């Protein structure tokens, strides 16, 4: 009986190992697949004041990108994959970086305000030019 049992156990063990290996391979393949899945990403840029029109969305490290429409909406012109980073820039706001994860196809980048006090003095016809100052 003993002699019969041993091969059976070995068989179970072998099947187990084979299954394990299969699972690992299967898992790896899925991860690789997920990383390689390219998708079109769309989105809308917002801030505390609502949507941000005309912001620029660029793929980090490149000059591939798009300018948002008046509603802050965009469709990125190139298909993106996991771990790609988009940089959103707009005059008057801080830049925002968004990392593409999982199966992201839609993002809503939120832009933080910049602390800036608006003051203004323009050169008028009465303003002395530097040559006038030098003459003094």
- Binder of other proteins out of 3, 33, 103, 124 (CB under 8 A): 124
Starting at the edge strand found earlier in the chain, the sheet holding 56-59 runs 65-67, 56-59, 85-89, 96-99
Name which of 41 and 74 has its Cβ closer to other proteins. 74
Q: Determine how β-strand 106-107 pairs with β-strand 42-44.
A: parallel
The answer to whether residue 63 forms part of the interface with other proteins (CB under 8 A) is yes
Instruction: Work out whether 135 is an interface residue with other proteins (CB under 8 A).
Output: no
Among 1, 4, 5, 133, binds other proteins (CB under 8 A): 133
Which of the 8 DSSP states describes residue 93?
B
| Residue 60 near residue 21, CB atoms below 8 Å | no
Structure tokens at 60: 């980090």
Q: To the nearest whole angstrom, how small is the minimum distance from the Cβ of residue 95 to other proteins?
A: 9
Task: Tell the smallest beta-carbon distance from residue 53 to other proteins (Å).
Answer: 8
Q: With CB under 8 A, what is the number of residues at the site for other proteins?
A: 30
| Token pair listed for 89 | 């820039």
* Backbone CA torsion sign across 25, 28, 34, 37: negative
Backbone φ and ψ of 6, nearest 5°:
-55, -50
Any contact of residue 61 with other proteins (CB under 8 A)?
A: no
* Interaction of residue 127 with other proteins, rule CB under 8 A: yes
User: Is residue 128 near other proteins by the rule CB under 8 A?
Assistant: yes
Provide the binding-site residues for other proteins, judged by CB under 8 A: 49, 54, 56, 58, 63, 65, 67, 87, 89, 91-92, 113, 116-131, 133-134
């Amino acid at each position: 009986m003993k002699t019969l049992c041993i091969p059976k156990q070995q068989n179970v063990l072998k099947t187990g190992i084979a299954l394990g290996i299969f699972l690992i391979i299967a898992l790896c393949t899925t991860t690789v697949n997920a990383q390689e899945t390219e998708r079109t990403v769309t989105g809308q840029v917002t801030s505390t004041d609502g949507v941000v029109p005309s912001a620029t969305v660029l793929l980090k490290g490149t000059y591939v990108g798009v300018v948002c429409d008046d509603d802050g909406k965009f469709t990125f012109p190139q298909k993106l994959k996991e771990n790609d980073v988009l940089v959103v820039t707009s005059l008057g706001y801080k830049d925002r970086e968004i990392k593409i994860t999982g199966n992201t196809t839609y993002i809503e980048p939120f832009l933080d305000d910049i602390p800036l006090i608006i003051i203004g003095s323009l050169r008028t016809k009465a303003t002395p030019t530097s040559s006038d100052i030098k003459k003094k």
